[in-house]
Amino acid sequence: MKLLAALLVLVGLCAAVTAPALEAQQPSQPQQQDEFVPIDELPPQDQLPAAPLLVAAYSFVVLALFAYVLSVARRLGGVQRELERFEAELKRSGRT
Amino acid sequence: MPKWFTPAAAICGLMFAVAPVLIANAPYESTMGLVQKIFYVHLPSAWMFLLAAIICGVASVRFLFRGDPRQDRLAWAAAELVVLFGVVTLVTGPLWARKAWGVWWQWDVRLTASLMGWMVAVAYLLLRRYGGPGSDKLAAGLALFGMANVPFVYISVNYWRTIHPTTNVVPTLPASFGLPLWFSAVTFLLLFVLLLRVRVRLEEQRARLDALYLSMDA
């Protein structure tokens, strides 16, 4: 009986100590909205303009395609030159 | 180069000049506004990404079963286009998502499968470049996984939970959105065909050079 009473006291003490801490951890309710804020009045860190993202996307497409075309043209030019040089060499040595 | 190449390149250049005008005149989407215009390059490049993966896979199957080196060259050329159009898709998508969804990336099935498909193509190219003798057949096997991934990428949005738009969006587009999209898609397709032809030509010339070197050694 004494043990049970001691346990009850212990549980009561624990609850008393942890209750305020748990209450502090509860997510606070979002404040009720009582006005609409135009987007241009938001602080700068909360605004996300679309134009830079759009410009970045289109710029990336143009640059990527241009870089690839340039890369293929450069590689094709290199192989073509080597082929011509090789064929000329073969012709000179009379092997073809 | 074939006779059709130069006129097709001129038409493609003209279409790339006209496409921005159509895109600029397209209406703003009601919820996403200006940033939705990324759609006109994101979707066509995604289609080319999947088309290139299919071409790479089919050519690889034909190379594996018939041993035709022309199919191998086509597969290699297509794998490069998977990487090119894949990177365009995977960069423009997050730029759109940042504004529309509030996040750059979501690990949903479509985005993850697209990234996987792109990584398979990168692995294919690395294997061809550094794999040494026999890497052509190994890479062809890898290309099959890339092709098998395509249906997952396409249908995933209809079966798994995601915030990515479903495949029903395009068929139900009003003409004001549809015209610039289809114009852009045809432009990308023409560019795709031209790039594929040039890239195959590069492999043909390389093969010719290799044959000449071998004839010299013989």
Residue extents of the structural domains in chain A: 50-96
Q: Given this model, what pLDDT does residue A36 score?
A: 65
**8 A C-beta contact, residue B108 and residue B102:** no
pLDDT at B59 over 70: yes
Distance, CA of B143 to CA of B127 (rounded, Å): 11
Q: Kindly state the average pLDDT of the residues B143-158.
A: 93
Give the residues across from B29 on adjacent strands: B33
Question: Does residue B33 belong to the interface with chain A, where contact is any CB pair within 8 Å?
Answer: yes
Distance, CA of B85 to CA of B44 (rounded, Å): 9
Confidence tier at A93 by pLDDT (50, 70, 90): confident
pLDDT at A7 over 80: no
Mean pLDDT taken over chain A: 75
Q: Kindly state the average pLDDT of the residues B6-11.
A: 95
The 3-state secondary structure of B171-198, one letter per residue? CCCCHHHHHHHHHHHHHHHHHHHHHHHH
Which of A79, A84, A96 best tests the B interface by mutation, with the highest count of B CBs <10 A? A79
Distance, CA of A76 to CA of B198 (rounded, Å): 8
Q: Given this model, what pLDDT does residue A13 score?
A: 66
Q: Please report the number of interchain residue pairs, chain A to chain B, with beta-carbon separation below 8 angstroms.
A: 75
Mean pLDDT taken over chain B: 93
| Side-chain half-sphere exposure of A54, counting CA atoms within 13 A | 18
Confidence tier at B202 by pLDDT (50, 70, 90): very high
Confidence tier at B162 by pLDDT (50, 70, 90): confident
Residue in this structure with the two tokens 């093969």, named with its chain if needed: B207
Distance, CA of B76 to CA of B25 (rounded, Å): 38
Angle at B149 between CA B145 and CA B150, to 5 degrees: 125
The answer for B 77-136 residues in CB contact with A (under 8 A) is 80, 84, 87-88, 91-92, 95-96, 98-99
Distance, CA of B75 to CA of B202 (rounded, Å): 13
- In total, chain A counts a number of residues equal to 96
Per the structure, the count of domains in chain B is: 1
Q: Given this model, what pLDDT does residue A21 score?
A: 54
Q: Kindly state the average pLDDT of the residues A51-76.
A: 94
pLDDT digits (tens, 9 = 90+) for B86-108: 999 999 999 999 988 889 999 98
> In B123-164, which ranges are E strands?
none
Neighbouring CB atoms inside 10 A of A78's CB total 12
Q: Given this model, what pLDDT does residue B54 score?
A: 97
pLDDT at A32 over 90: no
A69/B95 Cβ within 8 A: no
Q: Kindly state the average pLDDT of the residues B27-49.
A: 91
Neighbouring CB atoms inside 10 A of B54's CB total 15
| Range of the structural domain that residue B90 is part of | 5-217
Residue in this structure with the two tokens 């390059």, named with its chain if needed: B41
Confidence tier at B38 by pLDDT (50, 70, 90): very high
Residue type, A93: S
Q: Which of A25-39, B40-54, B198-212 has the lowest mean pLDDT?
A: A25-39
Closest CA of chain B from A70, distance in Å: 11
Cβ neighbours for B213, distance < 8 A, ≥ 6 positions apart: A86
Distance, CA of B164 to CA of B169 (rounded, Å): 11
Q: Which of A90-94, B11-15, B74-78, B178-182 has the lowest mean pLDDT?
A: A90-94
B212 or B76, higher pLDDT? B76
Comparing C-alpha atoms, which of B100, B114, B131 is closest to residue B45?
Answer: B114
B201/A64 Cβ within 8 A: no
Minimum Cα–Cα distance from A67: chain B residue = B84
Q: Kindly state the average pLDDT of the residues A23-36.
A: 56
> Tell me, what's the ipTM?
0.91
For chain A, the residues whose C-beta falls within 8 A of a C-beta of chain B are 48, 50-51, 53-54, 56-58, 60-61, 64-65, 68-69, 72-73, 75-76, 79-80, 82-83, 86-87, 90, 95
* Residue B26 Ramachandran class (φ > 0 left, ψ -120 to 50 alpha, else beta): beta
Confidence tier at A27 by pLDDT (50, 70, 90): very low
Q: What does the block give as tokens for B121?
A: 């193509």
